[in-house]
Structure 1
Amino acid sequence: MGKERREQGHLERKKRVVKKRKISLEELKAFVEAHQDAFLREIAAHFDCAVPPVWVALKQIKVTLKKTTSFKEQNPEKVAEFLDILDNLKDLPIVYIDETGIDLYFYRPYARAPRGEKVYEKISGRRFERTSIVTGQVDGEFITPMVYKESMTSDFFMKWFKTQLLPALKTSHVIVMGNASFHPKNILDELCIQDKHFFLPLPPYSPDLNPIKQV
């Protein structure tokens, strides 16, 4: 029956009605300024349109996606004090120090499949080896990197600091690092004074002030 009706021209495919609305660039700019963290779909809903026109309009007004985060616990006064000290020592090169780790086991958490079909994959529940690195950075260049598989401890860090980092600094530097428990500040400060360096810990909750974190 359906085939006969199609052959006789009784059935016609309904055309999809696409909602189009021209977005005011001035209104868009004002909305984005007031809702900087809005998702594209939220902006589209506000202007009663689809997502693609929003994306095009944002490019027209040269708005890009960006967001800088910091910890709520960060103390603005201590940050200002840190930056002031750093400014007073601006004639000295700065070496930033950081430690980070890399897991050697990866898996892809998502996969594509036809609608309605599920995708299954078995992954290991075992803990895999973790490789870590401690390094310094001066003017964007890494110095004395050391790869290790042990857990970082004060003794381990101090050995690297005394036998690798300090000998690599031929002139006076400002040495900046975070507030990890394995950074014994008093001992580090004494070692820096002996070698004519300036030890400057980061303010608490302020990894954003360490450029090496952005690498």
Structure 2
Amino acid sequence: MTRPYSADLRERALARSDAGETDRSIAEALQIAPSCLSKWRKLRRETGALKPGKMNGHKGRTLSGEIAQWLHERIQAAPFTTRQLTAELVARGIKTDRRAVWTFLHAEGLSFKKTIVPAEQDRPDVARKRHRWKAHQDGIDPRRLVFIDETWIKTNMAPLRGWGPRGQRLPAKVPHGHCQTLTFIAALRHDRVEAPCVIDGPINGMLFTAYVEQFLAPTLAPGDIVILDNLGSHKGKAARAAVRARGAHLIFLPPYSPDLNPIEQLSAKVKHWMRRAEERDHDATWRRVGQLLDIVSPAECANYLRNSGYASV
């Protein structure tokens, strides 16, 4: 690391400058840059001294002091994510990023959790079907694809994970005595979510057929390809007939392959939103789902398809 010029050299240079010698002449004589003279004069005017300032060295953590104290209180008050904490810090006028927040949380002894995938994907028969599907999935016009999925939502939902001290539980209080289960079902296209519906209770073959006939089929056009999970409730003849009557096709995904159904990502996001909302009332849960779907953009829909390996428009 380059050392700063000594105070003695600075004083001699400015003494010659004060005597009327030009900066270029002084610089040549003392083997320094001419700009040093102007910088030192400015330093003397502003501070009254020529002592060099601190150069590089250890940079303290930006999330320290009062900011760290606020973070301690914030992470204990309510669930959070690193993205959420970063946004809250920026809103308070603190310049930071997610990496700094992540580093702070780990320094505080906090850790995050991880997810799982179906082990059945390693079975030879399933792996063979998945390989065949992946070989052709990016060759289909995404404007023709319509992905169907249903997921449950309940009136006792709460965040699944959070940050907490290592070795200690992180409790979340939810009602265990009485809650209602609803089923959210919708269709995902490359640029929108269509035919959303919330059904009281779990879905079955009869309810799925009614959904296809009353909600999905009117949105279909000739040549559309409806893709859905390989579930028994999806295989009713009436549901297939309603799709074919619109000139569309119905295809089932390989088993144990939620990663090949882009709307699974939307379903996961809806459940995440609903856990954060922690709605405890039946009607409020219905309304919240509708509000959440309003903020799903066309770009987000396209990203879901792309992330699952399908072609983009």
| TM-score where L is the length of structure 1 | 0.56
User: What pairs with 1:41-190 in structure 2 (closer than 5 Å)?
Assistant: 70-74=117-121, 75-87=126-138, 89-90=140-141, 93-106=144-157, 124-184=175-235, 186-190=237-241
Q: Indicate conservation of the 8 Å contact 1:94/1:138, yes or no.
A: yes
**Structure 2, unaligned runs of 5 or more:** 1-98, 104-111, 267-313
Per-residue deviation, 1:184: 1.4
Per-residue deviation, 1:119: 10
1:62-101 CA distance string (max 9 Å, x none): xxx9x88542212221012223454454375101001012
Per-residue deviation, 1:111: 9.8
Question: Size of the alignment, in residue pairs?
Answer: 150
How far apart, CA to CA, are the structure 1 residues paired with 2:139 and 2:170?
A: 58
How far apart, CA to CA, are the structure 2 residues paired with 1:90 and 1:160?
A: 25
The DSSP-based 3-state class of the residue aligned with 2:227 is strand
Greater relative contact order (CA < 8 Å, ≥ 6 in sequence): 1
Deviates more, 1:136-145 or 1:182-191: 182-191
The DSSP-based 3-state class of the residue aligned with 2:233 is coil
How far apart, CA to CA, are the structure 2 residues paired with 1:119 and 1:208?
A: 29
Percent identity at matched positions?
A: 23
Per-residue deviation, 1:210: 0.7
Deviates more, 1:80-89 or 1:171-180: 80-89
How far apart, CA to CA, are the structure 2 residues paired with 1:80 and 1:119?
A: 40
Structure 1 126/177 Cα, relative in aligned 2: closer, same or farther at 3 Å? same
Structure 1 214/122 Cα, relative in aligned 2: closer, same or farther at 3 Å? closer
Per-residue deviation, 1:212: 0.8
Structure number with greater Rg is: 2
How far apart, CA to CA, are the structure 2 residues paired with 1:96 and 1:120?
A: 36
More strand by share: 1
Q: Indicate conservation of the 8 Å contact 2:182/2:199, yes or no.
A: yes
Q: Indicate conservation of the 8 Å contact 1:157/1:182, yes or no.
A: yes
How far apart, CA to CA, are the structure 1 residues paired with 2:257 and 2:208?
A: 21
Structure 1 164/123 Cα, relative in aligned 2: closer, same or farther at 3 Å? closer
The one-letter code sitting in structure 2 at the alignment partner of 1:155 is M
Q: Indicate conservation of the 8 Å contact 1:89/1:174, yes or no.
A: no
Per-residue deviation, 1:123: 5.7
The DSSP-based 3-state class of the residue aligned with 2:234 is coil
Q: Indicate conservation of the 8 Å contact 1:93/1:173, yes or no.
A: yes
Structure 2 residue corresponding to 1:212, chosen from 245, 260, 263: 263
**Structure 1, unaligned runs of 5 or more:** 1-51, 57-64
More helix by share: 2
